[in-house]
Structure 1
Amino acid sequence: MNKYNRFSIAAFLMACLFALVACNNTQSVASAGPAADGFVKVSGTHFQKNGQPYYIAGTNMWYAAYLGSPSKVGDRARLAKELDTLKAMGVNNLRVLAVSEKSDINSSVKPATTNGFGNYDESLLQGLDYLLVELAKRDMTVVLYFNNFWQWSGGMTQYMSWIDGQPVQDPNVTNDWEGFMAKSASFYQSEKAQQEYRNTIKKIITRTNTVNGKAYADDATIMSWQLANEPRPGNSKTTAKEKQIYIDWINGVTAYIKSLDPHHLVSTGSEGLMGSVNDAKLFADAHSSVNVDYLTYHMWIRNWGWFDKTKPAETWDTGWEKGKDYLNSHIDAAKAINKPIVLEEFGLDRDMGSYDIKATTQYRDKFYQQVFDVLLPRMQKGEPIAGYNFWAWNGAGRTTRSNYWWQEGDDLNGDPPQEQQGMYGVFDTDTSTIAIIQQFNNSIHALNKK
């Protein structure tokens, strides 16, 4: 949604070094638990599990808990099929939406986990229970995010709508993304929103799984609690005061999560510089707290105007150079802060921006391969890049709608309701893309065996 602004890598690293001095920590407090309890831990700039290296070979499957639900939205047979397919691809981690908020706008998922403050859909929470059990069977882990800066799961703007009584403005309709982002970021300053948000966090973290009787806080299948999907400090006009409010919010909520559960990792869900109004110091400061265990970043060369899907040959080289720079500079930033970093979102359209499952994926495949070609050598050198999650897994999901927009009752896909179904998601028939992912995952698992 926002356009590219060139940034200085030197300035980025200087900001990270500055934050390092302020932070003065070399290891997460989450590493203090028993060494062999199965929890993913941080050791310097890497993850470990049971004392062994643990690199993330992952995908985004925001709807996975929905499939686990015993209600009509669930499809447990499909969930098993998807997890088996992903396991065969070498995927060991999912990034999943834990909580959604009921919204009346068309571009949001329905049903929702919360139908007003304190009003939870138990069947969807049971879907999360079921998912955790199925992941454990396959020795997979999960990152669970509690909220969303964007509207497709209700998110921060829905919190504010419940508080002020004003209807949520759908930026897909109004095209006012600046106004939408400002409203979403007002969530950080609302006492009522923050209290209700913490109530929901507590509801999830202190939950006992109805399938296996295990407390979530004791479940090593959960790798990390995450504050939100792509939280931003505001829009392009974000002030210094608003940046500080954002940092204070991160510091306060991560400390609260650790007070409830000191053993699981905590992450922000940040996009990196592009989610930090291109302010390197802000990104560094947002990840410098002892309660933030690792850095996250996302990379969208088409969304950010670096690559034109309708002019792929003409815009590829310059777009990829910016993307490669973005990938590398964030790994360098993690090195300066002395924490691991995960590239937890990236993706590209099918050729010429088609949503048709039969459309080719030549440029997407090229993109995936070149991203992996940047990450793998740095992983092999022991640098802080600790894994990745591609966006996103559509698997066996299909749409029959000629306009490709999701409606309630349709198959759930990795492409959320705010986007056309088939935009970025990888289907189980995308054999060339899957082969590239599987080859990279094999290389990652070789590192896990060292």
Structure 2
Amino acid sequence: MKYSSFFISWRRVLSRFAVTNLVVVCSALPAAAGQAQDPGIVSVQGSSFVRNGEPYRFVGVNMWYAAYLGADASFGDRERLVAELDLLNSLGVKNLRILGASEDSPYGKSLKTTFRDASDDYNDTLLEGLDFALAEIGKRDMTAVVYLNNFWEWSGGMGTYLSWVNGGEAIDLGDSAHPWPAFPRFVSGFYENDQANALYQDYIRTLLSRTNSLTGVPYKEEPAIMSWQLANEPRPNPDAGEGDPALDAFYDWADETADLIKDLDPNHLVSTGNEGTMGCNGLEACVTGLHASDSIDYLTFHMWPRNWSWFDPFEAEASFGTTVTEVKGYIDRHLAIAKADGRPIVLEEFGLDRADEVLRAGTPSPHRDRLLELVFAEVEESAAGDGPFAGTNLWAWGGYGRAQHEDGEWRPGDTSFTGDPPQEPQGRNSIFDEDASTLAIIERHASRLHGSAE
């Protein structure tokens, strides 16, 4: 890595000491100079987001495929993207978490059209698709969180970068010859691999130095961008405990990457994309250490009741009581971390299957609806008390998309984009335009939340 572990570790300690002791003072100060000069760009003051001088709390969704729809290509659909954004805007959804990077990968269940391959000849069609998506997001006064890498294989991600520099070696998620946790052990080697990170950083430099081909606005001045995100769900080595050098490597990678982004674009926020304690080997100290850099502006966490065995879609009602207990505990734990830290926190992924794992749009989703109401009530309570819970992004917006195959399986070349990534059944966590009860809950929450921020 560019800096020694010793230097970065001490810088992290000193920077967090400064933040802790200055948080009360900083909360009363105006936004950073770069942000103050750019109307509409989101900044952080204390434990709040601020936009145009006003508190900024949001209801958001994940729409990783926005740039794909925005591309002028056979896999794109600009008309659909415009319709999706219009519907979301009408519901009060103001933030989208979107994919800004994907890599041509050896993995079977991964995107096959990507932003880049192992060369530095990046995909202009997809980059222009991102231009179109950001332009349309900006027209509606919405904002986007753009993630720049992925721990998981479905968009290529860190494992693909490793395969480019190690002679083609890769471990696939779900490979019976390499059972869990072989995949995260392999992928976590990315943090200490200088060659893989050099390729990743080259892409970051290109993207953040880009000027939108449609609007002429440099990305570093684009109000539609709320945050650059290091990666989707970066995790440490699953065997690493407190004090383990592997955790320091994880923290140091976040420090160095966040610093690079801030050097290239001092105007926009930087976030990690981490899941919280469940993506940090259960360690609160890991969450704190990962977010310790003064180049990282707010905390993130994700919540997956089915994946974490809290909820069973085939015993939906029987397991929902456990789900509620675990969800409340997980939220409370992370709000406590954020309060102690003094910065905002966003729940940027959460979702739930329909009972019996039904995939079809418009079918009842009472347990998902109850989960949304529970989470949204927590956000509204925090907003009323000027707390750090600043926003949410539902996983995932399916909108007008539909699975292309009866079995719900993704196949290479599919362009229906339901929000579920290629390795999962298409429709599992999708919120469609026909899911009337869910859309009504989102709209009510947006109305309450935006009212509380005025």
The bucket for the TM-score relative to the shorter chain is over 0.9
**Contact 2:171–2:186 (CA<8 Å) still a contact in 1?**
no
| 1:18-39 C-alpha deviation (Å, 9 max, x unpaired) | 9954753524997333266221
Q: What is the aligned partner in structure 2 of residue 317 from structure 1? A: 321
Q: Structure 1: how far apart are the matches of 2:414 and 2:318?
A: 40
Q: What is the aligned partner in structure 1 of residue 3 from structure 2? A: none
1:366 offset after TM fit, Å? 1.0
Q: CA distance change for structure 1 residues 327 and 19 in 2, over 3 Å: closer, same or farther?
A: farther
Q: What is the aligned partner in structure 2 of residue 426 from structure 1? A: 431
Q: Structure 2: how far apart are the matches of 1:134 and 1:114?
A: 23
**Contact 2:236–2:247 (CA<8 Å) still a contact in 1?**
yes
1:79 offset after TM fit, Å? 0.4
SS in 1 for 2:405: coil
1:390 offset after TM fit, Å? 0.5
**Contact 2:66–2:98 (CA<8 Å) still a contact in 1?**
yes
Q: What is the aligned partner in structure 1 of residue 383 from structure 2? A: 379
Trace 1:186-205 onto structure 2 (pairs within 5 A). 186-205=189-208
Alignment-mate amino acid for residue 76 of structure 1: R
Q: Does 1:414 align with 2:416?
A: no
Q: What is the aligned partner in structure 1 of residue 188 from structure 2? A: 185
Q: Structure 2: how far apart are the matches of 1:288 and 1:188?
A: 17
- Give unpaired runs (5+ residues) of structure 1: 1-16
Q: Does 1:440 align with 2:441?
A: no
| 1:202-255 C-alpha deviation (Å, 9 max, x unpaired) | 111000111011110111110000000000012245671110100011111111
Q: What is the aligned partner in structure 2 of residue 245 from structure 1? A: 249
Q: What is the aligned partner in structure 1 of residue 261 from structure 2? A: 257
Q: What is the aligned partner in structure 2 of residue 213 from structure 1? A: 216
**Contact 1:301–1:320 (CA<8 Å) still a contact in 2?**
no
| 1:166-201 C-alpha deviation (Å, 9 max, x unpaired) | 353321343723111011111111010111111111
Q: Structure 2: how far apart are the matches of 1:272 and 1:355?
A: 28
1:359 offset after TM fit, Å? 3.4
Q: What is the aligned partner in structure 2 of residue 9 from structure 1? A: none
Q: Structure 2: how far apart are the matches of 1:260 and 1:400?
A: 40
1:278 offset after TM fit, Å? 0.6
Percent of aligned pairs with the same amino acid: 41
Trace 1:29-428 onto structure 2 (pairs within 5 A). 31-33=32-34, 34=36, 37-174=39-176, 176-236=179-239, 240-407=244-411, 408-428=413-433
How many pairs are equivalent?
Answer: 433
**Contact 2:15–2:293 (CA<8 Å) still a contact in 1?**
no
Could you tell which deviates more after superposition, 23-32 or 207-216? 23-32
Q: Structure 2: how far apart are the matches of 1:36 and 1:250?
A: 26
Q: Structure 2: how far apart are the matches of 1:445 and 1:178?
A: 42
| 1:334-355 C-alpha deviation (Å, 9 max, x unpaired) | 1100000001010000112222
Alignment-mate amino acid for residue 329 of structure 1: R
TM-score by length of 2: 0.92
| 1:324-380 C-alpha deviation (Å, 9 max, x unpaired) | 111121111111000000010100001122223353211111111111122211111
**Contact 1:163–1:193 (CA<8 Å) still a contact in 2?**
yes
SS in 1 for 2:32: helix
Higher relative contact order (CA 8 A, sep 6+): 1
**Contact 1:36–1:51 (CA<8 Å) still a contact in 2?**
no
Q: CA distance change for structure 1 residues 18 and 254 in 2, over 3 Å: closer, same or farther?
A: closer
Q: Structure 1: how far apart are the matches of 2:80 and 2:253?
A: 38
**Contact 1:102–1:115 (CA<8 Å) still a contact in 2?**
yes
Alignment-mate amino acid for residue 150 of structure 1: W
SS in 1 for 2:314: coil
SS in 1 for 2:236: coil
Q: Structure 2: how far apart are the matches of 1:229 and 1:172?
A: 19
Alignment-mate amino acid for residue 172 of structure 2: D
Q: Structure 1: how far apart are the matches of 2:447 and 2:201?
A: 39
**Contact 1:99–1:113 (CA<8 Å) still a contact in 2?**
yes
